[in-house]
Amino acid sequence: MELTVYLAGEIHSNWRQELKEKAEVLGIPLNFVGPMENHDRSDFIGEEILGEQPNAIYRDETASKINNFRTQILMRKSDVVIALFGEKYKQWNTAMDASAAVALDKPLIVIRPENLHHPLKELSNKANVTVETVDQAVKVLAYIFDEK
Amino acid sequence: MELTVYLAGEIHSNWRQELKEKAEVLGIPLNFVGPMENHDRSDFIGEEILGEQPNAIYRDETASKINNFRTQILMRKSDVVIALFGEKYKQWNTAMDASAAVALDKPLIVIRPENLHHPLKELSNKANVTVETVDQAVKVLAYIFDEK
Amino acid sequence: MELTVYLAGEIHSNWRQELKEKAEVLGIPLNFVGPMENHDRSDFIGEEILGEQPNAIYRDETASKINNFRTQILMRKSDVVIALFGEKYKQWNTAMDASAAVALDKPLIVIRPENLHHPLKELSNKANVTVETVDQAVKVLAYIFDEK
Amino acid sequence: MELTVYLAGEIHSNWRQELKEKAEVLGIPLNFVGPMENHDRSDFIGEEILGEQPNAIYRDETASKINNFRTQILMRKSDVVIALFGEKYKQWNTAMDASAAVALDKPLIVIRPENLHHPLKELSNKANVTVETVDQAVKVLAYIFDEK
Amino acid sequence: MELTVYLAGEIHSNWRQELKEKAEVLGIPLNFVGPMENHDRSDFIGEEILGEQPNAIYRDETASKINNFRTQILMRKSDVVIALFGEKYKQWNTAMDASAAVALDKPLIVIRPENLHHPLKELSNKANVTVETVDQAVKVLAYIFDEK
Amino acid sequence: MELTVYLAGEIHSNWRQELKEKAEVLGIPLNFVGPMENHDRSDFIGEEILGEQPNAIYRDETASKINNFRTQILMRKSDVVIALFGEKYKQWNTAMDASAAVALDKPLIVIRPENLHHPLKELSNKANVTVETVDQAVKVLAYIFDEK
Amino acid sequence: MELTVYLAGEIHSNWRQELKEKAEVLGIPLNFVGPMENHDRSDFIGEEILGEQPNAIYRDETASKINNFRTQILMRKSDVVIALFGEKYKQWNTAMDASAAVALDKPLIVIRPENLHHPLKELSNKANVTVETVDQAVKVLAYIFDEK
Amino acid sequence: MELTVYLAGEIHSNWRQELKEKAEVLGIPLNFVGPMENHDRSDFIGEEILGEQPNAIYRDETASKINNFRTQILMRKSDVVIALFGEKYKQWNTAMDASAAVALDKPLIVIRPENLHHPLKELSNKANVTVETVDQAVKVLAYIFDEK
């Protein structure tokens, strides 16, 4: 049995790479999917495909359509969602993806630094598990397959 | 036909009062529900009912359980959700409520200042309508009942 | 027991008025809801609330957001959907509303002139009942309440 | 991960072939399904299997039953739906398929010439992405699999 | 709290009247809905509204469309479904309604004479309760409201 | 793409074998599942596994539990359901399976001799397609995969 | 806005009465429903309506059918479920009702003495809120309606 | 066709091993999944991954989060659920898993010693089949695949 894991959250650090490597070391049978990690491409994908837009708001609107299209497809294919919140940025689309996962009955792990516990308290309560490090998230994934 | 509207979002300003008054002036047949607006009570409701907790994280956990319980009941009773994002704060629970509304097929209006268009672009795309002011949100609600 | 009926379809003729009057004559306990019937207001509602848009496509986009918001709320409140197709116009949003009704398990009556039977054949097959006149649709509604 | 794409819409042009070839050139791992593209067979499939019908309306009814049966099976198997609207024809079954895709939570791309923006505005708003060419649709599909 | 009960099943005897009267004697707060009980009207409702059909099969087809339309609306409004099977007739639409009730998560009581236990065994197993008389069915309904 | 077909209906004739052979001749990529076809074993499976029961009704009850368990699993795995009604027997579990298929959004073909059109009219109307012979049902299945 | 609360759990103590009285003192607009509280009647309701059964297991089977029928109806009508676990008894039907509430997206409060925390840990984690006393449960209910 | 079976219930005996071996002897094409069977690890998995907790209740809370995460994933992957109740222990999480299976429309077999029939009567009634031994459960599984 292989599971597919959607990795929602910030695209400014290499946490996805770290998580994939640690999962591989442990031999956990997982596939990973997630958002476009090239930040500029993610922001300009609307204009890249549909041409120049009248202003910044419409550039954002066309980009978000295509990013949400990608996320909807890949999240539907996933068995588990992991959402990582970092120290910086608004990260409202991460919160949106995490909440959608819960509503779709997809098990959810939240990764956040301890000092974000207060603003994330309602989302943590909806998640199955909240951890502080990528390492802990990998251990939770490994536990699915452990027999002893 | 009366509709019930859940008002998600910041509890530090009086936008709910403003919205209710403007809806009343227009005679729109609406009921309003929403989160506990007393910030301190919302943060300490866990300890208020369940007693002192071992530390700040567990205080947050018990409070969020009861706040999420309230939100789940009231959102299920609602026909429309309005989520307001202000300039300050993380507001991840607002994003969480807005995303849950979409997943539950509840029509959603997002209110946000124009300068937040970039971090909210994916959520705006999932909302039915995004506006900048409470006044505009009320006009959208009024349109449901207009015949001409 | 009162039923709510959503009247989807063209807004250039007075078929809704005719249907309501015939239902009233028969004393059928029905409430009626439907789209904005003022065509100009329906087309310009986006700019009316959100201000001037960069071009005709974006004017349409903002209007359609608010029209779809209205339709989603009212269709969720409905027990039955009636979709009328006339001789003119593309009427793709009528087909869209009719198909959404089927997918939401809302019973659907299609009203169309006989000569449209070919282009509407797949939609007619998904509808519960296809009739040719408003009068026939009212008789189908009356039958719900008849006991003999 | 391979995705299955349902290609709804007109069967009088070779747009499906064009789309499949462009997807193959880009090496996107996609399977394609869709309606019967032989127009005559699609119209007469009811009589082909069930024998002669009393009149044209019943010929249409039997054909539409079998065409809807095929569409229901194949759309359930699909991860994405693309609906193309051309300049001609009523295309109400295309609108019906597109709307069913949205209601089933299947991500939807609409392809339409720019000059159809007005009659398709509500459907475009429900779609994830609206484009004007097959080429643009293929780029949206490719973006699902891009990592950079 | 009032409950609505859909009474599916044969329309050749007066079991619905008997059941309603016994419920009224016990003062149980119930509303009753059900199919058209005038057998001829039920069989000819298609031609009554849509005009003469080419043959008996098409007469049945148009009648069944309107009868199913009625049943779908009334069953959606119901909290409980009771399906009575008599000694005579095929009663496949009764079995169809009973099975639809189970699939829609509507609690189901089956009434059947003891000697039909074998052909109804799979349906009885899906029902919540199987009884032999109208009197027993009324007692099951009364039990919902009993406190002691 | 392979499809799984559940074959509901009478187990006293060899129609399943005929259907499988005709599908194989046409090279249609189908898997077939269905109920236990050994009539005696189907009736006594409860006592075979759980031991002797107090009377015929309880023998039926234990058998139906295990038969419904099998059907629920196999129908969930199916893409299409075919329900055959013969001249004899009550066949209420066939009607039950057919109705459950419709409620679960599984495409349904009904096979019945022409003279049963009246008692099956409501179920035929809910089915996607009604045919009279196994041969016609196979042609409908073949059409799913035809491209021209 | 009035809410309906299903009170699952032991029927050997008067906790329901205590909870109702405390809610009334606080003026919370609640209706309460729940299982048959007369233990003997609950155990013998099958034989009361359907007559003597062959043995104790079948007596239990007929009683549980009617008790589950009642619970399914009343829980579907409820906005909130409260499940109380006491010191004694297996209480597996209480755990069953609580789990069904979660699966049906009904908000759930668990009441249990502190010393049962270990065997109830997985259920507590699925509940919205776990408390130790009826008094605390009433305070959680009151908080839904508090504005300050 | 291979089926996946989730084995819920006590982890103090070797019933899972017995069931797997008997299924293998019969050559039934089944995969088995289930909870962590190492009792100590199951109780301490929260602290193992997230570090020491303030007290026993919070140790249970963190463990149950991770155990429920595992169960949610594996039960979603399963076609059948088997829940075994033994003579000892509260086993409320077994009842919770069994009830969740029913609510998710997963076919359910309950295994319990005869003398537990009374406290399990409501859950047995919701299960598809209740048996007394592992051997009987294996025979029910084998019957899914039997053709004669």
Q: How confident is the model at residue A148 (pLDDT cuts 50, 70, 90)?
A: confident
> What are the tens digits of pLDDT across the range A50-62?
999 999 999 999 9
Look-up: residue for tokens 């919902």? E144
How many CB atoms are closer than 10 A to CB C26?
13
Diameter of chain A measured on Cα atoms: 59
**Pure H helices in chain F:** 15-26, 39-50, 56-76, 92-103, 121-126, 134-145
Closest of A93, A102, A96, A95 to residue A128, by C-alpha? A102
Chain F residues at the E interface, defined by Cβ less than 8 Å, are 56-57, 60-61, 63-65, 67-68, 71, 85, 89-93, 95-100, 102-104, 114, 116-126
Measure E130 CA to nearest chain F CA, in Å.
11
Per-residue pLDDT at C93 exceeds 90: yes
Q: Could you tell me if G114 and H114 are in contact, meaning their C-beta atoms sit under 8 angstroms apart?
A: no
Cα pseudo-dihedral E4, E9, E13, E16, rounded to 10? -10
The pTM of this model reads 0.96
Nearest CA in chain A to D5: A73
Give the pLDDT mean for D19-44: 97
How many CB atoms are closer than 10 A to CB E148?
6
Q: Is the dihedral of CA F90, F95, F97, F98 positive or negative?
A: positive
Which residue of D99, D120, D132 to mutate against C (max C Cβ within 10 Å)?
D99
Q: How confident is the model at residue H69 (pLDDT cuts 50, 70, 90)?
A: very high
Q: Could you tell me if A70 and A35 are in contact, meaning their C-beta atoms sit under 8 angstroms apart?
A: yes
Q: Which residues of D touch E55 (CB under 8 A)?
A: 54
Q: Which residues of G touch F58 (CB under 8 A)?
A: 54, 58
Contact: C76, B80; criterion CB under 8 Å: no
Closest of A25, A15, A1, A33 to residue A86, by C-alpha? A15
Give the pLDDT mean for A27-33: 97
Locate E44 and state its tokens.
């000819």
Q: Could you tell me if F28 and F69 are in contact, meaning their C-beta atoms sit under 8 angstroms apart?
A: no
Per-residue pLDDT at A34 exceeds 90: yes
Q: What is the DSSP string of G28-93?
A: --EEEE-S---HHHHHHHHHHHH---SSHHHHHHHHHHHHHHHHHHHHHT-SEEEEE--SSS--HH
> What are the tens digits of pLDDT across the range G86-105?
988 889 999 999 999 999 99
Chain F residues at the H interface, defined by Cβ less than 8 Å, are 4, 31, 33, 36-38, 41, 45, 48-50, 65-66, 68-70, 72-74, 76-77
Q: What is the DSSP string of chain A?
A: --EEEEEEE-SSS-HHHHHHHHHHHTT--EEEE-S---HHHHHHHHHHHH---SSHHHHHHHHHHHHHHHHHHHHHT-SEEEEE--SSS--HHHHHHHHHHHHTT--EEEE--GGGTTTTHHHHHHSSEEESSHHHHHHHHHHHH---
pLDDT at B94: 96
Per-residue pLDDT at F88 exceeds 90: no
How many CB atoms are closer than 10 A to CB C8?
27
- In three-state secondary structure terms, H4 is strand
- In three-state secondary structure terms, C118 is coil
Diameter of chain D measured on Cα atoms: 59
Closest of B83, B86, B113 to residue B98, by C-alpha? B83
Closest of E31, E92, E104 to residue E67, by C-alpha? E92
Look over chain A and give the mean of its residue pLDDT values, rounded to a whole number. Answer: 96
- The parts of chain B modelled with pLDDT lower than 70 are none
List Cβ neighbours of E14 (8 Å cut-off, separation of 6 or more).
none
Q: Which ipTM score applies to this complex?
A: 0.95
Q: From the list F45, F50, F68, which residue is nearest H128 (CB)?
A: F68
Measured CA to CA, the distance from residue A78 to residue E13 in angstroms comes to 54
Measure G148 CA to nearest chain E CA, in Å.
31
Q: From the list B139, B144, B146, which residue is nearest C73 (CB)?
A: B144
Q: Could you tell me if A119 and A94 are in contact, meaning their C-beta atoms sit under 8 angstroms apart?
A: no
Locate B64 and state its tokens.
């969020």
Contact: H79, F70; criterion CB under 8 Å: no
Q: Which helix (H) or strand (E) holds E136?
A: helix E134-145
* Cα distances (Å, whole numbers) of residue G146 to B38, E60, E130, G27: 10, 58, 46, 11
> What are the tens digits of pLDDT across the range A77-108?
999 999 999 988 889 999 999 999 999 999 99
Locate G46 and state its tokens.
């099958």
pLDDT at H12: 83
One-letter identity of residue B55: N
Q: How confident is the model at residue H90 (pLDDT cuts 50, 70, 90)?
A: confident
Cα-atom radius of gyration of chain B, to the nearest Å?
A: 16
Chain G residues at the E interface, defined by Cβ less than 8 Å, are 4, 31, 33, 36-38, 41, 45, 48-50, 65-66, 68-70, 72-74, 76-77
Contact: D143, A66; criterion CB under 8 Å: yes
pLDDT at C88: 84
Instruction: Give me the phi and psi of D51, to 5 degrees please.
Output: 90, 170
Give the pLDDT mean for C24-38: 97
Q: Could you tell me if B27 and B36 are in contact, meaning their C-beta atoms sit under 8 angstroms apart?
A: no
Q: How many contacts does B have with G, using Cβ atoms within 8 A?
A: 50
Q: From the list B1, B140, B147, which residue is nearest C69 (CB)?
A: B140
Chain H residues at the G interface, defined by Cβ less than 8 Å, are 56-57, 60-61, 63-65, 67-68, 71, 85, 89-93, 95-100, 102-104, 114, 116-126
Helix (H), strand (E), coil (C) string for chain D: CCEEEEEEECCCCCHHHHHHHHHHHCCCCEEEECCCCCHHHHHHHHHHHHCCCCCHHHHHHHHHHHHHHHHHHHHHCCCEEEEECCCCCCCHHHHHHHHHHHHCCCCEEEECCHHHCCCCHHHHHHCCEEECCHHHHHHHHHHHHCCC
Helix (H), strand (E), coil (C) string for chain B: CCEEEEEEECCCCCHHHHHHHHHHHHCCCEEEECCCCCHHHHHHHHHHHHCCCCCHHHHHHHHHHHHHHHHHHHHHCCCEEEEECCCCCCCHHHHHHHHHHHHCCCCEEEECCHHHCCCCHHHHHHCCEEECCHHHHHHHHHHHHCCC
Per-residue pLDDT at C33 exceeds 90: yes
Our CA angle for B63, B64, B67, nearest 5°, is: 90
Measured CA to CA, the distance from residue H131 to residue G40 in angstroms comes to 26
Measure D140 CA to nearest chain C CA, in Å.
20
pLDDT at B98: 97
Q: What is the DSSP letter of C145?
A: H
Nearest CA in chain H to A136: H49
Domain ranges of chain B: 3-36+76-144
Q: How confident is the model at residue G12 (pLDDT cuts 50, 70, 90)?
A: confident
pLDDT at A118: 95
Q: Does domain B3-36+76-144 have CATH number 3.30.70.890?
A: no
pLDDT at B12: 82
Give the pLDDT mean for A24-41: 96
Q: Could you tell me if F111 and F132 are in contact, meaning their C-beta atoms sit under 8 angstroms apart?
A: yes
pLDDT at A11: 86
Measured CA to CA, the distance from residue A105 to residue A100 in angstroms comes to 9
Per-residue pLDDT at D134 exceeds 90: yes
Per-residue pLDDT at C89 exceeds 90: no
- The parts of chain E modelled with pLDDT lower than 50 are none
Look-up: residue for tokens 């293998």? H24
How many CB atoms are closer than 10 A to CB F27?
9
Locate D60 and state its tokens.
């249409």
Measured CA to CA, the distance from residue H99 to residue H105 in angstroms comes to 10
